């Protein structure tokens, strides 16, 4: 169990830095900014297309695959921790939209959730973390 927790923490560290990276590279920044503008429409209902890891439109889906799906698959392959892919799929397909982009959900100071993540949509240089808030606190990117 401890080993799984360590891999989970390493995976969130990897996703934190990848999220910061997409904010720094112009082409990726354009794709990710589209996700930011789309989410700001405040539609936090679950959508059936999430089952196929398709979010909102093609550009938002591309962003999801660049920032989350493909990096998770790579991390699972390198570490042989395939359970992370299953965990991520359940999160992305059934939970993420309801929790992460919902302003009425707040699990701070422990977990990344709606209020925490939506601050990132308003201040794109803050709150990059996924699942946990500690990387933002450690690297002083928390809002």
Confirm if 133 and 116 have CB atoms less than 8 A apart: yes
Crossing angle of helices 2-22 and 83-90, rounded to 10°? 60
> How far is the C-alpha of 8 from the C-alpha of 115, rounded, in Å?
22
Segments in the chain forming alpha helices (H): 2-22, 26-39, 58-64, 70-79, 83-90, 96-99, 114-122, 134-138
DSSP string, 87-118: HHHHIIIIIHHHHTT-TT---TTTB--HHHHH
Residue 105 has pLDDT above 70, yes or no: yes
Residue 130: left (phi > 0), alpha (psi -120 to 50), or beta?
beta
| pLDDT of 10 | 97
- The neighbouring-strand residues paired with 132 are 111
Other beta carbons within 10 Å of 36: 16
Question: In degrees rounded to 5, what are phi and psi of residue 92?
Answer: -70, -35
34 band by pLDDT with thresholds 50, 70 and 90: confident
How many angstroms separate the CA atoms of 9 and 2, rounded?
11
At residue 80, the pLDDT reads 97
What pTM was computed for the model?
A: 0.86
Give the residue from 133, 130, 120 showing the smallest Cα distance to 18.
130
Express each pLDDT in 113-141 by its tens digit: 777 777 887 888 888 888 888 999 999 99
């Amino acid at each position: 169990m401890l080993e799984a927790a360590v891999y989970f923490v390493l995976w969130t560290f990897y996703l934190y830095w990848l999220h910061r990276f997409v904010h720094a590279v112009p082409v990726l920044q354009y794709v990710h900014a589209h996700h930011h503008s789309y989410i700001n429409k405040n539609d936090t209902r679950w959508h059936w297309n999430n089952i196929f890891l398709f979010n909102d439109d093609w550009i938002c889906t591309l962003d999801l695959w660049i920032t989350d799906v493909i990096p998770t698959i790579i991390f699972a392959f390198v570490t042989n921790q395939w359970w992370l892919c299953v965990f991520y799929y359940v999160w992305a397909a059934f939970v993420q939209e309801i929790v992460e982009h919902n302003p009425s959900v707040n699990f701070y100071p422990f977990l990344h959730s709606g209020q925490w993540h939506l601050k990132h949509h308003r201040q794109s240089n803050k709150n990059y973390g996924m699942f946990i808030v500690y990387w933002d606190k450690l690297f002083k990117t928390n809002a």
